[in-house]
Amino acid sequence: MQGTSADLKVLHSYLADFAQFGRPSVVQETKGVPTYVNEFWTAKQRQANSLHEIAYRACFKPQLPRFFIGLLTQPCDVVYDPFMGRGTTPIEAALMGRVPFGCDVNPLSDILTRPRLNPPPLSAVADRLRELDLSHCSHYPQELEVFYHPETLTEICALREYLLQRERAGDMDDVDRWIRMVAVNRLTGHSKGFFSVYTLPPNQAVSIESQRKINQRLGQTPLRRDVKTIILRKSRSLLRDCDSLARARLASVASRALLLTRQAHHTPEVPDASVHLVVTSPPFLDVVDYAQDNWLRCWFCGIDPHAVPITIAHGVEEWREAMRNVFCELTRVLVPGGWVAFEVGEVRGGKVRLEEVVIQAVQGLPLMPHAIVINDQHFTKTAHIWGVSNRVKGTNTNRIVLMQKC
Domain that holds residue 229: 122-238
Residue 301 belongs to some domain of the structure: no
- Give residue-wise pLDDT tens across range 202-223: 667 899 999 999 999 999 999 9
Give the per-residue pLDDT at 290: 65
Task: Please tell me the predicted confidence (pLDDT) of residue 59.
Answer: 78
Do residue 318 and residue 362 come from a single domain? yes
Pick from 199, 215, 238: which residue ends a domain?
A: 238
Which of the residue ranges 19-33, 126-140, 323-337 would you say has the lowest mean pLDDT?
Answer: 19-33
Tens of pLDDT, residue by residue over 187-200, are: 999 999 999 999 98
Looking at 196, 213, 238, the residue that finishes a domain is: 238
Closest Cα to residue 189, out of 159, 155, 234?
234
Residue 338 resides in a domain = yes
Q: Which among 293, 296, 261, 283 is positioned nearest to 57, based on CA atoms? A: 293
Evaluate whether residue 300 is within a structural domain: no
Give 385's pLDDT tier (boundaries 50, 70, 90). very low
Whether residue 315 sits in one domain with residue 206: no
Let me know whether 250 and 394 are in one domain: yes
Residues 251 and 222 in one domain: no
What pLDDT, on the 0 to 100 scale, is given for residue 349? 60
Whether residue 397 sits in one domain with residue 266: yes
Whether the predicted pLDDT of 239 surpasses 70 = yes
pTM of the model: 0.92
44 lies in the same domain as 189:
no
* pLDDT at residue 45 tops 70: no
- Asked if the structure places residue 52 within a domain, the reply is yes
104 — pLDDT class (breaks 50, 70, 90): very high
**In this structure, are 89 and 135 located in the same domain?**
no
pLDDT greater than 70 at residue 347: no
35 and 85 in a single domain? The answer is yes
Residue 45 sits in the same domain as residue 181: no
Residue 66 has pLDDT above 70, yes or no: yes
Residue 249 counted as domain residue: yes
* Same-domain check for residues 207 and 258: no
Complete DSSP assignment for 350-389: GTB-HHHHHHHHTTTSSEEEEEEEEEE----HHHHHTTPP
- Work out the mean pLDDT of the chain and round it to a whole number: 90
Domain count along the chain: 2
Identify the sign of the CA torsion 6, 12, 16, 20: positive
Residue 299 forms part of a structural domain: no
The pLDDT assigned to 76 comes to 96
